[in-house]
Structure 1
């Protein structure tokens, strides 16, 4: 089997078919994780009825996964750099399989919560390896095509989770009610394990690295102190300890940065390669990812509440309504990374932010025009426009962040990308209490609920549009064109030289 640390010209030869099979495996795993994040929300009423779970336990079924996932992403990425991305990926898939089985056969709410936390932790091992394997396996001039596929997968998974959750739950397969939403992972995971062992090439950092245990402790503590209050703050009424915890997280992160700097200066193996932030495309891309995640976190939650509570639609009807957004995002993600970004560079992402903002404003106008009588087909146009904008951003942004990252740190970089996405999304979810629920009165009659949710939805979308304008402005910090598009398309060997020069700069 070819090593993923071989040169691009070598890798692109005889191992080409094997690499594309490996890509299919890791993309399937990425799709499975993205779907699993959203599929549970649809099944919550069924889970509560069947298990008798308390409100707090229901919250932990979703929050437990999210917290374990976010807290472990950076560590998971670094473990791949140290011990091999294939090995850690397969370990994560195996653990995800076990956790999914435990979720599906959970005898009580406590077991389900514990299994969901395990599932999130295993996803944190699995997911960072996806982009790391892509970055280590494919040469620069092919990555646009690959990242375009990744963006298309993200677009499909965005809506597939709620839709699949509605179909499986309402279908009540074999009388299992909500359990198939977890059990469906088992055959997919087993196939990924078998095919991954055969087709994925092993890759790891070229120099020996050791796991930075103190860094792991600090980053995990800091993320939990930040994300736990954001994830559960609204349900708990935003207690004072939540604000103190978030303020304390800033102190922990400052201590982490100081510690990692000292460790790197002594020639150690830091958990987070701070030198990556000296790469302009990486630092700027991370900032954009965070802010963009805030907008998405707000939109997808208020959109679900608007359709299912404000309009009284079923989960299946709401899921089907999102299909135009998913298809538009998937199609445009492929086209943008493959055709548009190599020609127009950063302008494609900026156009995406403005197009998506235009779609949001169109959605506000449609919601105001039709009120509670709005039909799914009347949402189709704004959703398609938003999907086009989303597709112009998602895949090219991921490519831009990773374009100049040295291969040996691709796992760490991938973990950081996924972590800031989770942080941005959690911050967006936290802001929903202000931009959405802050517009809804405390005591509403049944007749007042619908109009109140429609108004709050329009108000929240105004904030989403403002976030997208901020994304547009932040995108000016990205290079006009990434190094791989300047050099890689016509001369892959030159692209390798550019990357090698970057590694020498980082090492100095």
Structure 2
């Protein structure tokens, strides 16, 4: 792949088809990350039973990954800008593969939690490079197609994760119980590492940047101070230090903003590129991503617990029940970016929020009507409606957020997008303690477990519906159309020449 260095970043030769091979490789990495999250959710009851994990440790198997992922994403994105996106991507996928092996061979719940935290940290190096490589490699008029593919990958990951998790858990390969759900990452990671080294061409920020170590410390501390008490709060009976920590997190994050402003003025190498928030589409999209991640964090964990613990279903039965949802996400995501958004713009995303909320309300009604005797086919309607709604949001939202971001800040922007989504996801996982476990007694007799989980599921879905209503309102702040979908718009200036002058700031709106 050949590139031209411009003040706005690295640009591909339009005729070079090798970039599509690079796209397939980075999408495979994104797929691996998505599968890893959903595959773990479906195997949680099996891990709890086989490894003897407590409810707190089960939360940490999911939330620990999300915490490390969220805390490291901004740093991972910036490291790609500084040292090269290919180099950091390969480091991340190699580390992710190693951490997956440690998860698979964990000898106790504590080792599994620690390995999951390491896995989240490695994913934080790998995942931001996916969007930044796409942003730096593909011109604006091709990105709609690329993000449509990305949405389809999201749907495929959602399909494959639960099914793979269910099948691998049911098969109990070589007597390894749940362990193959992590070990399956090993061949995929090795292939991605080898092919990535061959086909991905290096790109980085056009001017020399330095890693902002103070910024790294502040953003990591602030996120941990906010998310850790949420995750442990219920287990520890909401101690005073938890509230102090969460309040202090906002002080730390405010200090981060002040420091980053001074850092940008002093040497132009902040960890968080605050100028990005002057891009209207980026700032609004970040708010939507955060709240959307929160809703998804609540839903997917409580849905798994509801089906397997509350209804007593096997992992395979639960995994197959989710297939209509996943197919609907995949189909709607591809249609939304390529067909609907160019014509209807922001209205497609808002329609997605309302459709998804409608699916949640149908689910609540059906759960109330059928109780613990509900059948998988009775869940198909709400799941398809929810899947269509999610598909209408997930791919065009990423497109809209990045559409006006200058290429030289692709890594920082990608890290921020993934960070706020994972921060929202971790907040959602933490809130599961309140909106799900908080509604039931700590000591349930066997006959009380099913009804208690059904009631808690309905209560948690009410929160998810409220979150989707908030998302609908927040979407009014998004531009009516992403930049590349404005009717009659030409390819971005950077495709024909420099997008910005060497000694001027990028034009932000």
TM-score category by the smaller chain? over 0.9
Instruction: Indicate the structure with greater helix content.
Output: 1
Structure 2 vs 1, CA of residues 441 and 449 (structure 1 numbering), >3 Å: closer, same or farther? same
More displaced stretch, 171-180 vs 20-29 = 171-180
- Counterpart in the other structure of 1:465: 465
Q: In 1, Cα distance between the equivalents of 2:29 and 2:285?
A: 24
- Counterpart in the other structure of 1:230: 230
- Counterpart in the other structure of 2:216: 216
The aligned runs of 1:273-352 (5 Å cut-off) are 273-352=273-352
Structure 2 vs 1, CA of residues 416 and 348 (structure 1 numbering), >3 Å: closer, same or farther? same
Structure 2 vs 1, CA of residues 120 and 443 (structure 1 numbering), >3 Å: closer, same or farther? closer
Residue 40 (str. 1) matches residue 40 (str. 2): yes
Residue 372 (str. 1) matches residue 372 (str. 2): yes
Deviation string, structure 1 residues 122-151 (Cα, Å, up to 9, x no partner): 111001100011111111011111111111
More displaced stretch, 57-66 vs 331-340 = 57-66
Gaps of 5+ in 2: none
More displaced stretch, 424-433 vs 317-326 = 424-433
Q: In 2, Cα distance between the equivalents of 1:221 and 1:332?
A: 38
Residue 198 (str. 1) matches residue 198 (str. 2): yes
1:9, distance to aligned residue in structure 2 (A): 12
Residue 87 (str. 1) matches residue 53 (str. 2): no
Q: In 2, Cα distance between the equivalents of 1:109 and 1:425?
A: 22
1:431, distance to aligned residue in structure 2 (A): 2.5
TM-score, normalised to structure 2's length?
Answer: 0.93
- Counterpart in the other structure of 1:171: 171
Structure 2 vs 1, CA of residues 303 and 13 (structure 1 numbering), >3 Å: closer, same or farther? same
Structure 2 vs 1, CA of residues 109 and 362 (structure 1 numbering), >3 Å: closer, same or farther? closer
Q: In 1, Cα distance between the equivalents of 2:290 and 2:77?
A: 18
1:70, distance to aligned residue in structure 2 (A): 1.5
Q: In 2, Cα distance between the equivalents of 1:113 and 1:376?
A: 31
- Counterpart in the other structure of 1:15: 16
Deviation string, structure 1 residues 68-110 (Cα, Å, up to 9, x no partner): 2211110000000011101100111111122222222334545
Q: In 2, Cα distance between the equivalents of 1:345 and 1:11?
A: 27
More displaced stretch, 57-66 vs 145-154 = 57-66
Q: In 2, Cα distance between the equivalents of 1:46 and 1:292?
A: 28
Q: In 2, Cα distance between the equivalents of 1:53 and 1:444?
A: 18
Q: In 2, Cα distance between the equivalents of 1:9 and 1:266?
A: 25
Structure 2 vs 1, CA of residues 432 and 25 (structure 1 numbering), >3 Å: closer, same or farther? same
More displaced stretch, 223-232 vs 41-50 = 41-50
Structure 2 vs 1, CA of residues 9 and 71 (structure 1 numbering), >3 Å: closer, same or farther? closer
- Counterpart in the other structure of 2:255: 255
TM-score, normalised to structure 1's length?
Answer: 0.93
Superposed CA RMSD in Å reads: 2.5
Q: In 2, Cα distance between the equivalents of 1:10 and 1:255?
A: 35
Residue 241 (str. 1) matches residue 241 (str. 2): yes
1:493, distance to aligned residue in structure 2 (A): 5.1
Q: In 2, Cα distance between the equivalents of 1:451 and 1:143?
A: 47
Structure 2 vs 1, CA of residues 39 and 88 (structure 1 numbering), >3 Å: closer, same or farther? same
The aligned length equals 506
